[in-house]
Amino acid sequence: MLEDESDWRATAVALRDRGYATLPGAMPASAWRTLRAEAQQLFADDAFSSARIGRGDGARTEGLTRGGSICWLESGMPAGNSFLRWMDGLRLSLNRDLFLGLDSFEAQYAHYPVGAGYETHVDRHQSSNARVVSAVIYLNSDWPAEAGGELVIYDAQDAPRLTQAPDGGTLVLFMSDDTPHEARIATRERWSIAGWFRTRD
């Protein structure tokens, strides 16, 4: 598990220089499997709600196709809370290395059923600059290449810059304001956590 300041520094540099960073194996399998089990239990308990409504949609929300459902992480969720604490270490490192003034982190478990995806969007809301850095961590075991479901980040000319399969333990960070991205439709159920480092609104 990436823990301390020096571990996160290369991530901060990539984020600064490229606008995104990928970290395969950022978290050991035992940790992301525990997160997925918590998500699945919450899902079974009907704690998830449709991803189409509520906060959490991108700046180009109108008419946007976003499948699946989400559940906001809270400190009372044991696995979710340890994830939030882990991301708080990253928040402090990003502040030290990039002077981003990140004030808080919010995150949601996301479940996409077979056939669902999330069309190209940016994460920063039109009405608020609060979201500065986006983070996604994947919770899927043995994801086959032919199952789709990749995260694709585009450049300003709509050419793919990154195509990342949703492999368990892979963490992707990108800037929330100017990074168009999509989650491609998958032929399997897809579990992840999507989160946002925020400044004060």
Q: Are 100 and 197 in contact (CB under 8 A)?
A: yes
Q: Is 123 in the site for ligand OGA (CB under 6 A)?
A: yes
DSSP 3-state assignment of 133? strand
Binding partner of residue 186 among Mn ion, ligand OGA, none, CB cut-off 5 to 8 Å per kind: none
Q: Is 38 in the site for Mn ion (CB under 5 A)?
A: no
CB of 34 to ligand OGA, least distance (A): 19
Helices (H) and strands (E) in the chain, counts: 3, 11
**Which of these, 167, 161, 170, 163, lies nearest to 188 by C-alpha position?**
167
Which residue number, 123 or 150, has a Cβ lying nearer to Mn ion?
123
Q: How far is CA 46 from the centre of its chain?
A: 22
Contact characters 105-124, Mn ion, x per CB under 5 A: ------------------x-
* Residue 77, strand partner residues: none
Which residue number, 80 or 180, has a Cβ lying nearer to Mn ion?
180
Residues that bind ligand OGA (CB under 6 A): 110, 118, 123, 136, 151, 181, 183, 192, 194
